[in-house]
């Protein structure tokens, strides 16, 4: 139950650091395929973090050779500073995104639209971030986990719950919860590969404290209320082969969404992972174009 050592930046050209209000330095990867881009899209990462190198396929889909795509390594993950696997409150995590995005060159731009993209757990973070921003032109949510299924290899078993209960009482801030799962138990091939990669990727965090998981639970529970306040266009995408997220939660998100310009797409062979996004590539590109005007 030990997280991997945080890596050093491999190349000085990968990105840059932004110092947030409390003095922490957070890493930002800024991809611009063309000089005169149409839209800025921020990929919102979840608590495990994000590897901008292994996400190049998703970056290419969102960029479509005409949009700027920005990835922030959340505090305590990747190249960013911060404690691994534990945090005081989820608000600290969320406020980092709010501060960086609201100070971005495109946030108040009259030339560029600004969209947010989130996948799985990061969709809860996205909603909380967008709630505090004014100039957001749309959001893309993929497999938001408002309601979840019991997934073999990814959901805790009986004895794991017993262990977690002990840590919750006696060592609430010690990272013990394995968010990467057990690859050997995962039936879906793509989800199994994701779990294997997540377990060994030094830019991602694997173990989290019970306190952190409690904060994440509160964030997910706040999603319906935030949807009722979400006054910006929505593209909601759900993979019908998702073994982790229950479609009923996505239905609730769509029903509660405030802004009338909302689209709900079901991807027949999409899993919880990237396959859903890849299969929805053309849908995503069209939706972004339709909302650039």
| pLDDT at residue 194 in the model | 78
DSSP code of residue 148: B
Distance of CA 53 to the CA centre of its chain: 15
- Residue 173 pLDDT exceeds 80: yes
pLDDT category of residue 153 using cuts at 50, 70 and 90 = low
Mean pLDDT value across residues 156-180: 89
Mean pLDDT value across residues 2-15: 81
Task: Give the least confident one: 73-77, 80-84, 198-202.
Answer: 198-202
Show the DSSP H helices in the chain as ranges. Answer: 56-63, 90-102, 122-130, 158-170, 189-200, 210-221, 223-229, 247-256, 274-279, 281-290
pLDDT category of residue 77 using cuts at 50, 70 and 90 = very high
| pLDDT at residue 9 in the model | 83
pTM above 0.75, yes or no: yes
pLDDT category of residue 274 using cuts at 50, 70 and 90 = very high
Residue 110 Rama label (left phi>0; alpha psi -120 to 50; beta):
alpha
Residues 106/230, Cβ–Cβ less than 8 Å = no
Domains of the chain: 16-150+210-290 (3.40.50.1820)
Mean pLDDT value across residues 186-196: 78
Distance of CA 138 to the CA centre of its chain: 16
């Amino acid at each position: 139950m030990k997280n991997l050592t945080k890596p050093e930046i491999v190349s000085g050209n990968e990105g840059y650091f932004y110092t947030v209000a409390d003095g922490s330095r957070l890493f930002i990867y800024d991809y611009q395929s063309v000089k005169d881009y149409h839209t800025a899209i921020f990929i919102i990462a979840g608590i495990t973090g994000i590897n901008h190198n292994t996400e190049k396929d998703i970056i290419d889909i969102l960029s479509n050779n005409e949009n700027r795509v920005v990835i922030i390594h959340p505090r305590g993950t990747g190249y960013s500073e911060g404690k691994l696997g534990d945090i005081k409150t989820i608000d600290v995590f969320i406020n980092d995104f709010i501060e960086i995005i609201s100070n971005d060159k495109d946030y108040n731009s009259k030339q560029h639209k600004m969209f947010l993209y989130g996948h799985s757990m990061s969709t809860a973070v996205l909603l909380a971030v967008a709630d505090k921003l004014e100039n957001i032109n749309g959001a893309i949510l993929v497999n938001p986990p408002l309601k979840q299924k019991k997934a073999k290899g990814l959901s805790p078993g009986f004895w794991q719950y017993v262990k977690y209960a002990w840590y919750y009482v006696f060592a609430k801030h010690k990272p013990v919860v394995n968010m990467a799962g057990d690859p050997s138990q995962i039936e879906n091939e793509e989800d199994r590969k994701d779990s294997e990669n997540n377990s060994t990727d030094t830019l991602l965090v694997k173990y989290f404290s019970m306190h952190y998981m409690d904060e994440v639970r509160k964030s997910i529970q706040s999603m319906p209320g935030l949807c009722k306040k979400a006054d910006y266009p929505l593209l909601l995408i759900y993979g019908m082969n998702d073994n982790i997220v229950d479609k009923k939660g996505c239905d609730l998100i769509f029903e509660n969404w405030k802004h009338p310009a909302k689209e709900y797409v079901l991807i027949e062979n999409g899993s919880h992972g990237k396959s859903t996004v890849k299969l929805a590539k053309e849908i995503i590109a069209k939706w972004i174009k339709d909302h650039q005007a």
